[in-house]
């Protein structure tokens, strides 16, 4: 049976790579040292594959059809998606997938009552580009990405998420080959205030607003990702019109069009 050798939960706040230099030296040091420590711990366990769970910012699915969980079954991944490259300040990268593990999750998950959606093509934004830069800078550990709906109601609730996590662990332990070393990496929607006047040792949620301190938010609407273009106007009309409305109220990949 497979073995879970590491479990990590961390933020993918875009400011960690995009504008960390705007933070105080102390905040920069705390964040960088923390992520580097996690990276060393992960690599020391020599995982054969990372199963990652991250939120999908409406980058891959239209607003009216977002699955609770979508397993990436591709053999290779690349990122960041073109629209996000200058904003995240992450150079283009590729890394291997692990179709065998991904298909086992889909197959055995269905038998356990978890009907995962699946796709061989998923676009990556900060959800994977930020943590991978710190944790696996050589991009040499295969990744099975699981994209989770965190924006469009109805959202999977805490009990459902716990259930999905238990099923994933059970599949690793009961349906994967003996000696296979698996790391679990959970991604968070929590945002960092790095670079702002409110920066502190403890990151604060919902601090990344639509009119970001990074001018990269101001790209024209025509540059918005493909899944954003049919839906962003509906979000804009439903907004209050206040420029400081936080990005948690608006799909982050649509914020550029709304914040002009």
**Pair (162, 242) in one structural domain:** no
Confidence of residue 16 (pLDDT cuts 50, 70, 90): confident
Q: What is the pLDDT averaged over residues 36-51?
A: 96
**Pair (236, 182) in one structural domain:** no
Q: What is the pLDDT averaged over residues 120-144?
A: 93
In this prediction, residue 188 carries a pLDDT of 65
Query: What percent of the chain stands above pLDDT 70?
Result: 72
Residues 6+ away with beta carbon under 8 Å from 29? none
**Pair (103, 39) in one structural domain:** yes
Query: What percent of the chain stands above pLDDT 90?
Result: 53
Q: What is the pLDDT averaged over residues 107-136?
A: 94
Q: What is the CATH number of the domain that holds 20?
A: 3.40.830.10
Residue with tokens 């934004």: 125
User: pLDDT for 93-119, tens place per residue?
Assistant: 999 999 999 999 999 999 999 999 999
- Domain assignment present for residue 70? The answer is yes
Count of domains in the chain? 2
User: pLDDT for 230-256, tens place per residue?
Assistant: 333 333 333 333 222 233 333 444 433
In angstroms, the CA 102 to CA 113 distance is 16
In this prediction, residue 89 carries a pLDDT of 86
In angstroms, the CA 185 to CA 6 distance is 8
Which string of b and e fits 222-239 if b means at least 16 CB within 10 Å?
Answer: eebbebbbebbeebbeee
- Domain assignment present for residue 22? The answer is yes
Confidence of residue 85 (pLDDT cuts 50, 70, 90): confident
**Pair (149, 223) in one structural domain:** no
In this prediction, residue 17 carries a pLDDT of 85
- Domain assignment present for residue 97? The answer is yes
- Domain assignment present for residue 72? The answer is yes
Q: Which residue range(s) make up the domain with 160?
A: 3-188
In angstroms, the CA 130 to CA 12 distance is 5
In angstroms, the CA 58 to CA 98 distance is 24
In angstroms, the CA 53 to CA 12 distance is 12
Q: Which helix (H) or strand (E) holds 238?
A: helix 232-238
134-138-142-147 Cα dihedral, nearest 10 degrees: 40
Strand residue runs (E) in the chain: 3-11, 49-56, 69-72, 76-79, 93-96, 117-119, 143-149, 181-188
């Amino acid at each position: 049976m497979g073995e879970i050798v590491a479990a990590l939960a961390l933020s993918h706040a875009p400011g960690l790579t995009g504008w960390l230099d705007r933070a105080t030296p102390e905040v920069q040091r705390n964040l960088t040292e923390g992520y580097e420590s996690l990276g060393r711990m992960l690599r020391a366990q020599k995982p054969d594959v990372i199963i990652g769970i991250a939120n999908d910012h409406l980058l891959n699915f239209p607003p009216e059809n977002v699955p609770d969980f979508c397993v990436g079954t591709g053999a290779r991944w690349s990122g960041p998606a073109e629209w996000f490259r200058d904003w995240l300040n992450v150079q283009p990268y590729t890394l291997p997938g692990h179709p065998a593990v991904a298909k086992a999750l889909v197959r055995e998950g269905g038998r356990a009552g978890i009907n995962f959606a699946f796709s061989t093509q998923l676009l990556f934004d900060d959800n994977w580009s930020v943590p991978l830069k710190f944790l696996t800078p050589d991009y040499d550990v295969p990744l099975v990405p699981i994209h989770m709906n965190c924006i469009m109601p109805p959202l999977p609730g805490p009990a459902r998420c716990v259930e999905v996590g238990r099923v994933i662990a059970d599949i690793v332990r009961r349906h994967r080959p003996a000696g296979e070393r698996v790391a679990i990496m959970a991604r968070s929607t929590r945002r960092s205030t790095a670079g702002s006047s409110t920066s502190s040792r403890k990151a604060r949620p919902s601090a990344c607003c639509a009119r970001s301190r990074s001018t990269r938010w101001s790209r024209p609407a025509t540059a918005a990702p493909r899944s954003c273009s049919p839906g962003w106007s509906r979000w804009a009309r439903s907004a209050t019109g206040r420029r400081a409305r936080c990005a948690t109220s608006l799909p982050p990949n649509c914020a550029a069009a709304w914040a002009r």
